[in-house]
Homo-oligomer: A and B are copies of this chain.
Amino acid sequence: MFSELLANVRAAGPLVHNITNYVTANDCANLLLACGAWPIMADDARESAEVTARCGGLHLNLGTLHERTVPALLASGREANARGIPVVLDPVGVGVSRFRRETLARLLGEVRFAVIRGNLSEMRTVASGQGGGRGVDAGGSDQVTEGTLDEAAAFAKALSARTGAVIAMTGAIDIVADSGTAFCIRNGHPMMRRVTGTGCQLSALTAAFAAANPGRALEAAAAAVCAMGLCGEIAHRLLTPEEGNAAYRGHIIDAMYRLTPEQLEEGARYEMR
């Protein structure tokens, strides 16, 4: 099933608007280009909604959040909603500060999201409004494992029912769920956590998949999660003994550039619960 979803991204070449942090914006742009989409970044409220209106997908990301960006996030989110453009939210490190939690609450109140993509501790904050977690690239103890998988899938389904968004909760095992169905995904490699921004890149990728596959947010998000994880696996096999996380970063994007629909179909490892 996923082969078709990737083929649609390559065929449609959707333009994806990213309001995102400056740490990983370059990688988000190059990953979008690698998958066949086109990136545009614009985060000033004077133009953000106007830019969104030209795009097929919108990626809102709370990393390096600024006060002046909040109106742009809201304006673009509303514009996308009015036009039926899918919106992906990445609540980066949302547990670390009141400012991020308050911004999250405003976004959840005023914007409908097609997909919310984050790690387990970020999703707990989405669910509870409470802080926690170590931050952005941190964590580790806070992972979904085989033992907690059913519980985590139920949590994701319930959160999807409450928010109306597909929940893409990534970690050692990834869960992508709407209120009725959870994809449990076992692609990826632990070393991806040693590359900054693989989560942000996945959120941008999810927006591209959602844009190119209208009305199929659940499958689009699951395909994006499988594709990113699969690229992490392919990239890891390419590493030489001298290479580390910088080379790995490049190999992941390169793997996306080369990824064929057939590879994705064969390499995607998931079950539905």
> Which residues of A line the B interface, CB within 8 A?
15, 21-27, 29-30, 33-34, 38-44, 46-47, 50-51, 54-55, 63-68, 93, 96-100, 134-138, 193-197, 238, 242-247, 249-258
Name A25's closest neighbour in chain B (CB-CB).
B23
Which residue from chain B places its CB closest to the CB of A36 in the assembled complex?
B194
Contact of A51 with B244 at beta-carbon distance under 8 Å, contacts A22-B22, A38-B134, A44-B66 already known: no
Q: Is the CB of B238 within 8 A of A244?
A: no
A31 CB to nearest chain B CB (Å): 9
Contact partners of A138 in chain B: CB under 8 A? 15, 38, 40
Given the known interface contacts A64-B42, A246-B34, the answer about A51 and B135 at a Cβ–Cβ threshold of 8 Å is yes
A99 engages B245 (CB within 8 Å): no
Contacts of A33 in B (CB 8 A): 137, 193-196, 245
Known A-B contacts A23-B26, A34-B244, A51-B135; the reply to A40 vs B254 at CB < 8 A is no
B-chain residues with CB within 8 Å of residue A257 when the two chains form the complex: 194, 244-246
Q: How far is the CB of A62 from chain B (nearest CB, A)?
A: 10
Judge whether B249 and A50 touch: CB under 8 Å: no
CA distance A39 to B135 in the complex (A): 8
**13 other contacts beyond A33-B137, A33-B194, A246-B250, with CB at 8 A cut-off?**
A15-B138, A24-B26, A34-B245, A41-B136, A43-B66, A44-B64, A47-B99, A50-B97, A55-B135, A244-B254, A244-B256, A244-B257, A245-B253
Q: Give Cα distance in the complex from A160 to B50, angstroms.
A: 29
| A47 nearest CB neighbor, chain B only | B97
